[in-house]
């Protein structure tokens, strides 16, 4: 058992105790040790004085091994970026390098308060290994791309089935599978249908890129005569499965109607969408329609970090500025995107500090100049905070303590990442 003592919460004034038993929050209250008759010798006590406890953040769209590509190229057109840098480096990846990138990304996420991420990439065995060792929670999908070729399609489906089975067999409460058809412009109709079928069979979510750029929408329209959401709806893609649609930058009214009707979840990635010049997603309109919104960082090659707090602030800021309306997307709403909504989207009992929920808890040291005066904490966490956290529990285990990783030797991982980069850049 762990007790976090005398900690501040966003929703209530005063100091609170949080009692963690196994991987769940057992109680939240005042003076819990006395009330529950707990002996000091039986529990690990974490001093929460001058600390704020928040639920761990949920990043619903990432490509975690791309930490190794951080900063290789910026400020250039998308196709040049992909052709001359990203795809070249990706072609040199292997399981070991992906593992290294995952460890680096897990450290970065944990240290910035993200406890769960929803990832799409390849060499999944390397990602699984990094997730297990670091202590983070993840929903992992193998990114399927067939480029409309049958042989490739069969291989991609096989890869997905294999990794889904492997993850389910592990039976690790921190690792769950999802199905990851890359996007409607890179996957054939047959692959999209197969992905949907696998997701239904295993009852797991689908993770897909949707409507990120105007170009890809044009491509889908040329191929199918429909916009991407219309096309997917026409093949029954949304029936009986939870679909997490990353980006959703350019949407027609008809598409938003489909999203509403089919309970599609949006992963809003404002920073990546700005950086690649993709555009600005119509979040205020999606909010009006009650379409659930979550937040993602995308890969750190187009961001260039995994600090989800930056997305929270950006999600609140950008729509105000574009629409000349300071009341749009209030801070409390964008914080929900990154917590409660993320947990719901992934069907995990995370994203809220609540008795019975999973113990994914982040402690933030409030004695920082940018959090002073220690008032209006709901505002500070969105508009003033930098995403540097002190202590992190995931699944009831302490994985970050006083700013230091518990399960990993950070500096060793940094050296591994340096060596990996040198292999990839050659």
Do 258 and 233 meet the contact criterion of CB atoms below 8 Å apart?
yes
CA distance 134 to 98: 14
The answer to whether residue 402 forms part of the interface with a copy of itself (CB under 8 A) is: no
Q: Which stretch binds a copy of itself (CB under 8 A): 9-17, 62-70, 199-207, 344-352?
A: 62-70
- Select from 9-17, 140-148, 346-354, 406-414 the region that touches a copy of itself (CB under 8 A): 406-414
Residues 360-399 touching a copy of itself, rule: CB under 8 A, are 367, 369-370, 372-377, 379-380, 382-384, 386-388
> Which of helix, strand or coil describes residue 15?
coil
In the bound state with a copy of itself, the residue whose beta carbon lies nearer, of 4 and 103, is: 103
Query: By CB under 8 A, what part of segment 138-197 binds a copy of itself?
Result: none
Query: Footprint of a copy of itself on residues 31-60 (CB under 8 A)?
Result: none
Is the CB of residue 302 less than 8 Å from the CB of residue 320? Answer: no
Site for a copy of itself in 284-303 (CB under 8 A): 300, 303
Q: How far from 103 is each of 131, 165, 414, CA to CA, in Å?
A: 7, 23, 9
246, 212 contact by CB (below 8 A): yes
The least distance separating a copy of itself from the CB of residue 71, rounded to whole angstroms, comes to 3
Residues 187-246 touching a copy of itself, rule: CB under 8 A, are 214
Taking the least distance from each CB to a copy of itself, the nearer of 16 and 421 is 421
Which one among 221, 275, 354, 401 touches a copy of itself, defined by CB under 8 A? 275
Three-state DSSP state, 128: helix
Contact assessment for residue 284 and residue 323, using Cβ atoms and an 8 Å cutoff: yes
C-beta atoms surrounding 29 within 10 Å: 12
Q: Is 182 annotated as a binding residue?
A: yes
Catalogue the E-assigned strands of 154-205: 175-177, 180-181
Q: 76 and 36 in contact (C-beta within 8 Å)?
A: no
* Given 243, 276, 308, 364, the residue binding a copy of itself (CB under 8 A): 276
Q: How far apart are CA 199 and CA 206, in angstroms?
A: 6
Residues 65, 102 contacting (CB under 8 angstroms): yes
β pairing state of 397-401 and 391-394: antiparallel
User: Pattern 312-351, binding to a copy of itself, x per CB under 8 A?
Assistant: ----xxx-xxxxxxxxxxxx--------------------
28-36, 106-114, 152-160, 285-293 -> range binding a copy of itself (CB under 8 A): 106-114
CB of 299 to a copy of itself, least distance (A): 12
Q: Give the residue ranges of the annotated binding site for substrate.
A: 90, 152, 182, 212, 298
């Amino acid at each position: 058992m762990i007790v976090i003592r005398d900690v501040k919460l966003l929703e209530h004034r005063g100091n609170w105790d949080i009692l963690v038993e196994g991987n769940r929050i057992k109680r939240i209250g005042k003076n819990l040790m006395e009330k529950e008759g707990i002996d000091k010798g039986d529990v690990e006590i974490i001093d929460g004085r001058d600390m704020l406890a928040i639920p761990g953040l949920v990043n619903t769209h990432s490509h975690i091994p791309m930490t190794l590509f951080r900063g290789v190229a910026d400020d250039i057109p998308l196709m040049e970026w992909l052709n001359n840098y990203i795809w070249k480096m990706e072609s040199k990846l292997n399981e070991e390098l992906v593992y290294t990138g995952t460890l680096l990304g897990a450290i970065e996420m944990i240290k910035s308060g993200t406890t769960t991420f929803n990832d799409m990439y390849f060499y999944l065995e390397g990602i699984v290994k990094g997730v297990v060792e670091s202590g983070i929670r993840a929903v992992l999908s193998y990114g399927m791309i067939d480029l409309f070729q049958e042989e490739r399609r069969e291989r991609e489906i096989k890869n997905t089935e294999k990794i889904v089975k492997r993850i389910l067999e592990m039976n690790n409460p921190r690792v769950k599978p999802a199905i990851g058809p890359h996007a409607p412009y890179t996957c054939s109709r047959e692959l999209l249908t197969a992905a949907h079928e696998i997701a239904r069979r295993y009852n797991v979510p689908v993770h897909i890129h949707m409507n990120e750029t105007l170009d890809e929408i044009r491509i889908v329209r040329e191929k199918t005569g429909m916009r991407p959401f219309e096309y997917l709806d026409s093949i029954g893609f949304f029936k009986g499965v939870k679909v997490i649609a990353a980006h959703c930058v350019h949407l027609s009214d008809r598409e938003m109607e489909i999203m509403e009707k089919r309970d599609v979840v949006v992963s809003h990635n404002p920073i990546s969408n700005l950086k690649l010049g993709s555009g600005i997603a119509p979040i205020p309109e999606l909010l009006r329609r009650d379409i659930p919104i979550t937040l993602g960082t995308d890969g750190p090659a187009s961001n260039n970090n995994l600090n989800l707090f930056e997305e929270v602030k950006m999600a609140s800021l950008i729509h105000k500025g574009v629409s000349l309306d300071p009341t749009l997307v209030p801070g409390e709403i964008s914080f929900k995107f990154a917590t409660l909504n993320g947990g719901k989207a992934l069907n995990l009992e995370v994203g809220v500090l609540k008795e019975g929920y999973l113990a994914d808890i982040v402690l933030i040291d409030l004695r920082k100049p940018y959090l002073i005066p220690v008032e209006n904490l709901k505002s500070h966490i969105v508009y003033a905070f930098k995403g540097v956290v002190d202590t992190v529990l995931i699944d009831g285990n302490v994985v970050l303590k006083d700013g230091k990783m518990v399960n990993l030797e950070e500096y060793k991982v940094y050296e591994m990442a340096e060596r990996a980069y040198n292999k990839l850049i050659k």
